[in-house]
Structure 1
Protein backbone atom coordinates (compact mmCIF):
# COMPACT_ATOMS: atom_id res chain seq x y z
CA UNK A 1 0.00 0.00 0.00
CA UNK A 2 1.21 3.51 -0.78
CA UNK A 3 2.28 5.77 2.05
CA UNK A 4 -0.44 8.42 2.26
CA UNK A 5 0.49 11.43 4.41
CA UNK A 6 -1.69 13.03 7.06
CA UNK A 7 -5.17 12.17 8.19
CA UNK A 8 -5.77 9.90 5.19
CA UNK A 9 -3.67 7.22 6.90
CA UNK A 10 -6.41 6.93 9.52
CA UNK A 11 -8.75 5.36 6.95
CA UNK A 12 -6.76 2.14 7.40
CA UNK A 13 -7.86 2.14 11.06
CA UNK A 14 -11.63 2.26 10.37
CA UNK A 15 -13.63 -0.30 12.37
CA UNK A 16 -10.59 -1.13 14.53
CA UNK A 17 -10.44 -0.73 18.29
CA UNK A 18 -8.24 2.25 19.16
CA UNK A 19 -6.88 3.88 22.28
CA UNK A 20 -6.79 7.67 21.97
CA UNK A 21 -4.89 9.94 24.37
CA UNK A 22 -6.24 13.52 24.39
CA UNK A 23 -4.59 16.87 25.20
CA UNK A 24 -6.67 17.19 28.36
CA UNK A 25 -5.16 13.97 29.71
CA UNK A 26 -8.11 11.66 29.10
CA UNK A 27 -7.69 8.20 27.60
CA UNK A 28 -10.51 6.90 25.41
CA UNK A 29 -10.93 3.42 23.96
CA UNK A 30 -13.43 2.71 21.20
CA UNK A 31 -14.05 1.57 17.65
CA UNK A 32 -13.15 4.10 14.95
CA UNK A 33 -16.25 4.63 12.81
CA UNK A 34 -15.41 7.82 10.91
CA UNK A 35 -12.55 10.21 10.19
CA UNK A 36 -12.26 13.32 8.04
CA UNK A 37 -9.53 15.46 6.46
CA UNK A 38 -8.95 17.28 9.78
CA UNK A 39 -8.44 13.98 11.67
CA UNK A 40 -11.69 14.50 13.54
CA UNK A 41 -12.71 11.08 14.86
CA UNK A 42 -15.96 9.34 15.69
CA UNK A 43 -15.54 6.50 18.18
CA UNK A 44 -18.31 3.96 18.85
CA UNK A 45 -18.76 1.91 22.06
CA UNK A 46 -16.30 4.26 23.73
CA UNK A 47 -15.03 3.98 27.28
CA UNK A 48 -12.96 6.49 29.21
CA UNK A 49 -10.20 4.73 31.10
CA UNK A 50 -8.86 6.37 34.26
CA UNK A 51 -5.54 5.17 35.72
CA UNK A 52 -4.42 5.83 39.28
CA UNK A 53 -1.34 3.93 40.41
CA UNK A 54 -1.83 0.26 39.59
CA UNK A 55 -5.63 0.54 39.39
CA UNK A 56 -7.95 1.59 36.59
CA UNK A 57 -11.63 2.11 36.00
CA UNK A 58 -13.72 2.38 32.86
CA UNK A 59 -16.62 4.78 32.29
CA UNK A 60 -18.96 4.07 29.37
CA UNK A 61 -19.20 7.06 27.03
CA UNK A 62 -21.03 5.62 23.98
CA UNK A 63 -20.49 7.49 20.72
CA UNK A 64 -17.73 10.07 21.10
CA UNK A 65 -16.74 12.78 18.61
CA UNK A 66 -13.15 14.00 18.97
CA UNK A 67 -11.77 17.09 17.31
CA UNK A 68 -8.54 16.14 15.55
CA UNK A 69 -6.45 18.89 17.14
CA UNK A 70 -7.11 17.37 20.58
CA UNK A 71 -5.53 14.00 19.74
CA UNK A 72 -2.04 13.56 21.16
CA UNK A 73 -1.58 9.89 20.45
CA UNK A 74 -3.61 7.01 19.12
CA UNK A 75 -2.97 3.38 18.47
CA UNK A 76 -4.72 0.14 17.65
CA UNK A 77 -5.55 -2.24 20.49
CA UNK A 78 -4.70 -5.88 19.88
CA UNK A 79 -7.95 -7.46 21.07
CA UNK A 80 -6.34 -10.90 21.28
CA UNK A 81 -3.88 -9.64 23.90
CA UNK A 82 -6.17 -7.11 25.57
CA UNK A 83 -7.29 -9.40 28.38
CA UNK A 84 -4.16 -11.54 28.63
CA UNK A 85 -2.26 -11.31 31.93
CA UNK A 86 0.90 -9.25 31.70
CA UNK A 87 3.93 -8.57 33.87
CA UNK A 88 2.67 -5.07 34.69
CA UNK A 89 -0.94 -6.03 35.29
CA UNK A 90 -3.38 -3.45 36.56
CA UNK A 91 -6.36 -4.05 38.80
CA UNK A 92 -9.79 -3.06 37.52
CA UNK A 93 -11.91 -1.30 40.14
CA UNK A 94 -15.38 0.25 40.23
CA UNK A 95 -16.08 3.66 38.74
CA UNK A 96 -16.73 5.10 42.20
CA UNK A 97 -13.44 3.76 43.55
CA UNK A 98 -11.32 5.06 40.67
CA UNK A 99 -12.99 8.50 40.74
CA UNK A 100 -12.32 8.74 44.49
CA UNK A 101 -8.69 7.66 43.98
CA UNK A 102 -8.33 10.27 41.22
CA UNK A 103 -9.75 12.99 43.48
CA UNK A 104 -7.38 12.04 46.32
CA UNK A 105 -4.40 12.04 43.94
CA UNK A 106 -5.32 15.48 42.59
CA UNK A 107 -5.69 16.88 46.12
CA UNK A 108 -2.31 15.41 47.09
CA UNK A 109 -0.68 17.00 44.05
CA UNK A 110 -2.25 20.40 44.80
CA UNK A 111 -1.08 20.23 48.41
CA UNK A 112 2.41 19.28 47.28
CA UNK A 113 2.46 22.22 44.83
CA UNK A 114 1.33 24.59 47.61
CA UNK A 115 4.11 23.41 49.93
CA UNK A 116 6.67 23.70 47.15
CA UNK A 117 5.45 27.21 46.32
CA UNK A 118 5.64 28.29 49.98
CA UNK A 119 9.14 26.82 50.31
CA UNK A 120 10.35 28.67 47.21
CA UNK A 121 8.66 31.95 48.25
CA UNK A 122 10.45 31.86 51.62
CA UNK A 123 13.72 31.79 49.68
CA UNK A 124 12.76 34.67 47.38
CA UNK A 125 11.97 32.47 44.41
CA UNK A 126 8.79 32.03 42.46
CA UNK A 127 7.49 28.51 41.88
CA UNK A 128 5.27 27.74 38.93
CA UNK A 129 3.58 24.35 39.05
CA UNK A 130 3.95 22.13 36.04
CA UNK A 131 1.32 22.71 33.41
CA UNK A 132 -1.18 19.90 33.63
CA UNK A 133 -4.01 18.87 31.35
CA UNK A 134 -6.47 21.11 33.24
CA UNK A 135 -4.29 24.18 32.66
CA UNK A 136 -4.13 23.94 28.87
CA UNK A 137 -7.26 25.94 28.11
Structure 2
Protein backbone atom coordinates (compact mmCIF):
# COMPACT_ATOMS: atom_id res chain seq x y z
CA UNK A 1 0.00 0.00 0.00
CA UNK A 2 1.23 3.47 -0.87
CA UNK A 3 2.21 5.74 2.03
CA UNK A 4 1.13 8.87 0.09
CA UNK A 5 -2.60 9.44 -0.32
CA UNK A 6 -4.19 11.32 -3.22
CA UNK A 7 -2.17 13.17 -5.81
CA UNK A 8 1.09 12.53 -3.97
CA UNK A 9 1.12 9.10 -5.64
CA UNK A 10 1.85 10.94 -8.90
CA UNK A 11 5.34 11.61 -7.54
CA UNK A 12 6.15 8.00 -8.45
CA UNK A 13 5.44 8.88 -12.10
CA UNK A 14 7.99 11.73 -12.32
CA UNK A 15 10.27 11.50 -15.37
CA UNK A 16 8.13 8.74 -16.90
CA UNK A 17 6.44 8.97 -20.28
CA UNK A 18 2.71 9.37 -19.73
CA UNK A 19 -0.43 9.50 -21.82
CA UNK A 20 -2.92 12.06 -20.52
CA UNK A 21 -6.54 12.21 -21.69
CA UNK A 22 -8.04 15.66 -21.16
CA UNK A 23 -11.62 16.59 -20.42
CA UNK A 24 -11.98 18.20 -23.86
CA UNK A 25 -11.05 14.91 -25.55
CA UNK A 26 -7.46 15.70 -26.48
CA UNK A 27 -4.72 13.13 -25.89
CA UNK A 28 -1.27 14.28 -24.77
CA UNK A 29 1.88 12.19 -24.51
CA UNK A 30 4.90 13.56 -22.68
CA UNK A 31 7.34 13.20 -19.81
CA UNK A 32 6.00 14.18 -16.40
CA UNK A 33 8.38 16.76 -14.94
CA UNK A 34 6.34 18.24 -12.09
CA UNK A 35 3.11 17.75 -10.18
CA UNK A 36 1.53 19.61 -7.26
CA UNK A 37 -1.15 18.96 -4.62
CA UNK A 38 -3.91 19.86 -7.12
CA UNK A 39 -2.65 17.32 -9.69
CA UNK A 40 -1.52 20.14 -11.98
CA UNK A 41 1.00 18.58 -14.37
CA UNK A 42 4.01 19.83 -16.29
CA UNK A 43 4.72 17.64 -19.32
CA UNK A 44 7.96 17.94 -21.30
CA UNK A 45 8.57 16.90 -24.93
CA UNK A 46 4.79 16.74 -25.26
CA UNK A 47 2.92 15.70 -28.37
CA UNK A 48 -0.80 15.91 -29.02
CA UNK A 49 -1.95 12.66 -30.63
CA UNK A 50 -5.01 12.78 -32.85
CA UNK A 51 -6.80 9.53 -33.78
CA UNK A 52 -9.17 9.22 -36.69
CA UNK A 53 -10.24 5.70 -37.59
CA UNK A 54 -7.12 3.55 -37.93
CA UNK A 55 -4.82 6.53 -38.43
CA UNK A 56 -3.06 8.88 -36.05
CA UNK A 57 -0.89 11.96 -36.22
CA UNK A 58 1.32 13.68 -33.67
CA UNK A 59 1.54 17.43 -33.22
CA UNK A 60 4.61 18.59 -31.26
CA UNK A 61 3.58 20.82 -28.32
CA UNK A 62 6.79 21.10 -26.25
CA UNK A 63 6.30 21.98 -22.58
CA UNK A 64 2.63 21.66 -21.64
CA UNK A 65 1.05 22.69 -18.36
CA UNK A 66 -2.20 20.88 -17.55
CA UNK A 67 -4.56 22.00 -14.83
CA UNK A 68 -5.40 18.98 -12.68
CA UNK A 69 -9.17 19.36 -13.00
CA UNK A 70 -8.86 18.83 -16.77
CA UNK A 71 -7.26 15.38 -16.46
CA UNK A 72 -9.67 12.52 -17.08
CA UNK A 73 -7.14 9.70 -17.27
CA UNK A 74 -3.40 9.26 -17.21
CA UNK A 75 -1.11 6.32 -17.44
CA UNK A 76 2.45 5.33 -18.17
CA UNK A 77 3.39 4.48 -21.75
CA UNK A 78 4.85 0.99 -22.11
CA UNK A 79 7.95 1.67 -24.18
CA UNK A 80 8.19 -1.96 -25.34
CA UNK A 81 4.70 -1.82 -26.85
CA UNK A 82 4.79 1.79 -28.01
CA UNK A 83 6.15 1.03 -31.48
CA UNK A 84 3.72 -1.84 -32.11
CA UNK A 85 0.42 0.06 -32.12
CA UNK A 86 -1.98 -1.22 -34.82
CA UNK A 87 -2.51 2.23 -36.33
CA UNK A 88 -1.02 3.96 -39.35
CA UNK A 89 0.97 7.12 -38.67
CA UNK A 90 0.18 9.97 -41.09
CA UNK A 91 1.34 13.56 -41.43
CA UNK A 92 -0.07 16.33 -39.26
CA UNK A 93 -1.81 17.91 -42.26
CA UNK A 94 -3.43 14.59 -43.22
CA UNK A 95 -4.70 13.84 -39.72
CA UNK A 96 -6.04 17.37 -39.24
CA UNK A 97 -7.85 17.10 -42.57
CA UNK A 98 -9.29 13.70 -41.59
CA UNK A 99 -10.36 15.13 -38.21
CA UNK A 100 -12.08 18.06 -39.93
CA UNK A 101 -13.94 15.72 -42.30
CA UNK A 102 -14.98 13.50 -39.38
CA UNK A 103 -16.33 16.50 -37.45
CA UNK A 104 -18.21 17.78 -40.51
CA UNK A 105 -19.79 14.36 -41.02
CA UNK A 106 -20.81 14.27 -37.36
CA UNK A 107 -22.37 17.73 -37.61
CA UNK A 108 -24.28 16.75 -40.76
CA UNK A 109 -25.55 13.61 -39.05
CA UNK A 110 -26.70 15.68 -36.05
CA UNK A 111 -28.50 18.12 -38.37
CA UNK A 112 -30.37 15.25 -40.02
CA UNK A 113 -31.27 13.81 -36.62
CA UNK A 114 -32.47 17.19 -35.36
CA UNK A 115 -34.59 17.65 -38.48
CA UNK A 116 -36.13 14.18 -38.19
CA UNK A 117 -36.94 14.70 -34.51
CA UNK A 118 -38.37 18.17 -35.16
CA UNK A 119 -40.70 16.70 -37.78
CA UNK A 120 -41.95 14.35 -35.04
CA UNK A 121 -42.46 17.21 -32.59
CA UNK A 122 -39.36 16.54 -30.49
CA UNK A 123 -36.54 18.92 -29.64
CA UNK A 124 -32.96 17.70 -30.09
CA UNK A 125 -30.15 19.01 -27.87
CA UNK A 126 -26.76 18.14 -29.38
CA UNK A 127 -23.91 16.83 -27.26
CA UNK A 128 -21.58 19.78 -26.83
CA UNK A 129 -19.22 18.13 -24.39
CA UNK A 130 -16.21 18.31 -26.75
CA UNK A 131 -17.06 20.62 -29.63
CA UNK A 132 -17.49 23.76 -27.54
CA UNK A 133 -14.20 23.30 -25.71
CA UNK A 134 -11.91 24.42 -28.56
Q: Give the TM-score normalised by the residue count of structure 1.
A: 0.93
The answer to whether the 8 Å contact 2:2/2:9 transfers is no
- When the two chains are superposed, the root-mean-square deviation of aligned CA atoms in Å is 1.4
CA 1:75–1:99 in structure 2 vs 1: closer, same or farther (change >3 Å)?
Answer: same
Match of 2:67 in 1: 67
Q: What are the superposed Cα offsets for residues 51-77 of structure 1, whole Å, 9 maximum, x if unpaired?
A: 000000000000000000000000000
Task: Quote how far apart the aligned CAs of 1:135 are.
Answer: 3.2
1:96 pairs, out of 87, 93, 96, with: 93
- Name the count of aligned residue pairs: 134
Aligned pairs for 1:82-93 (under 5 A) are 82-84=82-84, 89-93=86-90
State how far apart, in whole Å, the 2-side matches of 1:59 and 1:136 are. Answer: 18
State how far apart, in whole Å, the 1-side matches of 2:116 and 2:90 are. Answer: 37
Task: Quote how far apart the aligned CAs of 1:6 are.
Answer: 1.1
State how far apart, in whole Å, the 2-side matches of 1:122 and 1:28 are. Answer: 42
Specify every segment of 5 or more residues in structure 1 that has no aligned partner in the other structure, as ranges.
Answer: none
Match of 1:109 in 2: 106
Give 4+ residue runs of structure 1 displaced > 6 Å after superposition: none
Match of 2:23 in 1: 23
Task: Quote how far apart the aligned CAs of 1:5 are.
Answer: 1.8
Specify every segment of 5 or more residues in structure 2 that has no aligned partner in the other structure, as ranges.
Answer: none
Task: Quote how far apart the aligned CAs of 1:136 are.
Answer: 5.5
Task: Quote how far apart the aligned CAs of 1:132 are.
Answer: 2.9
State how far apart, in whole Å, the 2-side matches of 1:2 and 1:68 are. Answer: 21
